[in-house]
Structure formats: C-alpha cells, structure tokens
Structure 1
Amino acid sequence: MSSLPKWINDAVENLLPSKFKDCTVTRTTYISDDLKQITFETDLSDVYFEPAYAVGFRINDRDFRNYSPFHFDKEKGSFDILFHVHDTQAAGCHFINQLTAGDSIKMIIPRGKRFFDHEAKIHFSIGDETSLGSSIAIREAAEKTSKSFVCLHELEDPLSLEKLDLYGYYTSKNNWMAILNQINEFLHEERKAIENQEVTFYLTGNGKTMSFLRRYLKEKGVHSTNVRSQAYWIEGKKGL
C-alpha cells in the first residue's frame, strides 16, 4: 500500500468508520524466530470474509500494510494472522514486533478479489513464508467442503509447517530445481484431474516467483482459469 500524508490517513479513518474495526490483541506466539502468530478479537458479525482476503493495519502515520487472516470465526469474533517478521528495521516488522496481548488496534475490514475456487476438487497452494496464512485459510475452506488440499512452501524452517498443520511439499529458499521437481511430481500424479480442470492452483508471495510459476503451469497444460495469483511482495518494492 502506498504511503500517504498523515492528514489523509486521519481523514480516511474519520470519514469511513464503517471500513474499520477496533480490535484487541488477545494472544501472541512465535512459531519460529521470524514467524509471529497473533490472535485478534472484535465484532465480526457484519463482516464478509473469503479465504486469502486481506485486512489492513496502520503501522505508522503514513503507512498501512495488508495481511491475510485465517481461523476467521465470525461467531467467536476472532481471527489469527501469521506475520513474517524478517527485517526488524522494516516499518511493518517493527510495528508487529511491538504488539502484545491487550493492545488495541484499528483494522481495515477484509477485502479483495474472490480467490478461492468453490468448484475445485483439489486445492494446491504455492508460496513462501508470507503465504502461510493464506494457505491455512484455503485449507480450512477446502476441508469444510470435504475437498483435497495440497501445499508447497519455499522456506528455510520446515518445522514451521508441522506446527501449523500444513503438511505437504516444501523446498529451501531459491531452490528452483526442487520447486519444479515438486510441482512436476504433483502434475504427474494428478494428470487426469488437471485434464478435467478439477485442480486449482493458488500462487501467492513473491511476485516474480509467482509470475514464473504461472507461465510454467500453463506450459504444462494447466488451464489459465485454474491458476489464481496474488503477489504479496516484490524485492525492492515497498509496501506491496
């Protein structure tokens, strides 16, 4: 999200109160050294949510950042977000590191394009550390309709996947050969389902990696309507 002058951000909060919710931090847990899971509580009774929707937080006077919730429970009024706090000098990471139980914060209500394919029989989420929350939300939606879920994450600490119950493929960072080998293994195993357009791929995380994998899947015969993508960050670009 772009940086804006403080007075504009203040005006947005005051003029569009229906777009914001007052939230309370109720629990914080470090899944790993650079993954912080936070539970928030607020009134969600009038809030619409789809898997991979984003909420926004104002991290300072000028900047907002988007994050993907999961465990979104309208009845209990709670949701979780998994934050990748990879750079303590970055404004977003500094803000998240300071949040503790009992803190109050304004949230921009969930919004975004419809990402989850309710018709798919197999849901395959591919991404990196920033994609973990979206993968959990997609897995939960798939399980509610008794559909299959598969994931592939590019990250250094595979133990994080076990802690999050995200069992699936994983590779180390920037290991392109391993990423493609894992995808090819899945494409071979589910060839018939892919031909019948029963598999939907969700590409999130690094925008450059996402673009490459989107082209690769199409070259391998995956129909364009079965590939959905959302960039969460691009190297050198601030506040995507």
Structure 2
Amino acid sequence: MPSLPKWINDTVESVLSSKFKECTVTDIESITADLRRIRFSTDLQDVEFEPAYAIGIRINDRDYRNYSPFNFNKDSGTFDVLFHMHDPVAAGSHFISSLTIGDSLKILMPRGKRFFDPDAAIHFSIGDETSLGSSLSIKEAVEGPAQQFICLHELNDSSALEALNLYGYHIPKNNTIDIIEALTDFLKEEKQAIDNNNVVFYLTGNGTTMSLIKRFLKAKGISSQCIRSQAYWLEGKKGL
C-alpha cells in the first residue's frame, strides 16, 4: 500500500470506520528467528473471510501493510497472522516487534479478490516466507478426502514448515532452478489431474519469482484459469 499523508489515513479510518475493528493482541509466538505468530481477538461475527484475504495494519502515521490471516474463527473471535521480521529497521518489522500481549490496535478487516477455488481436486500453494499465512488459510479450507493440499516454499529456515504443520516442498532461497525441477516432477506425477484442469496453483510472495513460475506453468500447458496469483512484494519497492 502506498505511503499517504497522516490526515488522509486519519480520514480513511473515520469515514470507513465500519471496515475497521479494534483488535487486542492475545498471544505471541516466535516460530523461527524471523517469523512471529500473533493472535488477535475482536468481534468477527459480521466479517466475511476467504482464504488469502488480507488485513491492513497501520504501522505508522503514513503507512499500512497487508498481511494474510489464518485460523480465522468467528465463534471465538480470533485470528492469527504470521509476520516475517525480515529487517529490524524496516517500519513494518519495527512496529510488529513492539507489540505486546494486551496491546490494542485498529485493523482493516479482511478483503480482497476471490482467490480460492473450492472445487479443485488439488490445491498447490507456492511462495516464500510472506506466503505462509495464505498457504495456511488455503490448507484450512481444503476439505474432504477427495481434495489434496500441497505447498512449495522458498525459505532460509525450513523448520518453520514443521512448526506450522505445512509439509511439502522446501526450496532454498533464490534458487529458481530447484523450483522448476520440483514443479516438473509434480506435473509428471499428476499428469491426469493437470490434463483435466483439476489442479489450481496459488502463486504469492515475490512478484519477480511469481512471474517466472507463471510463465513456466503456462509454457507447460497449464490453463490460465488454474493459476491464481498475487504479488506480496517486489525487490526495491516499499509497501506493495
């Protein structure tokens, strides 16, 4: 989200007050050295939610950042967010690291385009650290023995996948060749499902990597309707 003058952000919060909720931090857990899970509590009964929707958190007077919630529970009034603490001096990381249990903040409630396809037989989520929340929300939405969830993540520390029960492909950071090799193996193994358009690929995270994967999948004959994409960040671009 772009930086805006304080008065504009203040006006947005006032005019669109129904889109915001006062949320309380109820739990904080360090998943790895640079991944932090925070649980928020508020009244969610009137909030619509779909996998890979994004919440907005105002990290200072001028800036908001988008994050993907998971464990979204209307009955308990709670949801979790995974924060990638990639740079201690970055505005987003600095703000999140300052939160403590009991803190209260206004959060722009989940919104976004429809991303998840409930009719797919195989759901394949691909991304990096910033994609873990959306992968978890997609995994939670996959129901029944006739559906399958698979994920592939670029991570410096793969222990996060075990801690989050996100078992799947793990690729070291900045290794596109390994990503292509893993996808090539998958396309061979699931050829029938691919041919029947029963696999949906969800591409999130680094916009540059995501574009490369999208081009590769299309070159392999994957239908555009089976590829869902949403860039979360680009190198050198602040606040995507």
Query: What's the TM-score, normalizing by structure 2?
Result: 0.98
> For 1:164 and 1:147, how far apart are their aligned partners in 2?
20
Question: How many angstroms does 1:146 deviate by?
Answer: 5.2
Cα distance between partner residues in 1 of 2:144 and 2:5: 43
1:1-240 to 2 correspondences below 5 Å? 1-143=1-143, 147-240=147-240
**Cα distance, 1:118 vs. partner?**
1.1
- AA at the equivalent of 2:93: C
SS of match in other structure, 1:150: strand
Change (3 A) 1:146 1:70: farther
Aligned residues: 240
Distance (whole Å) between structure 2 residues aligned to residue 149 and residue 218 of structure 1: 21
Output one character per residue of 1:47-91: Cα deviation in whole Å (capped at 9) or x when no partner: 000000000011000111100000000111000000000101110
Cα gap change, 1:6 to 1:203, in 2 (>3 Å):
same
**Residues 113 and 35 (structure 1 numbering): CA distance in 2 closer, same or farther, change over 3 Å?**
same
Shift of 1:143: 3.1
Task: Give the Cα–Cα distance (whole angstroms) in 1 for the partners of residues 108 and 19 of structure 2.
Answer: 6
| Cα distance in 2 between the residues matched to 1:119 and 1:86 | 35
User: Where do 4+ consecutive residues of structure 1 move more than 6 Å?
Assistant: none
Taking the aligned partners of 1:226 and 1:41, their CA distance within structure 2 comes to 35
Provide, for residues 153-211 of structure 1, a one-character-per-residue CA deviation record: whole Å limited to 9, x for no partner.
00111111000000000110011221111111111100000000000000000000001
- Partners of 2:30 and 2:36 within 8 A in 1: yes
Distance 1:86 1:146 in 2: 37
Gaps of 5+ in 2: none
Following superposition, the deviation at residue 11 of structure 1 comes to 1.1
Secondary structure of the 2:25 match is strand
- The answer to whether the 8 A contact 2:176-2:209 is kept is no
Q: 3-state SS of the aligned residue for 1:180?
A: helix
Aligned with 1:217: secondary structure? helix
Counterpart of 1:82 in structure 2: which amino acid?
L
TM-score, normalised on structure 1?
0.98
Q: Distance in 2 between matches of 1:143 and 1:216?
A: 29
The alpha-carbon deviation at position 29 of structure 1 amounts to: 0.5
Superposition RMSD on alpha carbons, in Å? 0.9
1:175 and 1:81, CA in 2 relative to 1: closer, same or farther beyond 3 A? same
Partner of 1:194: helix, strand, or coil?
helix
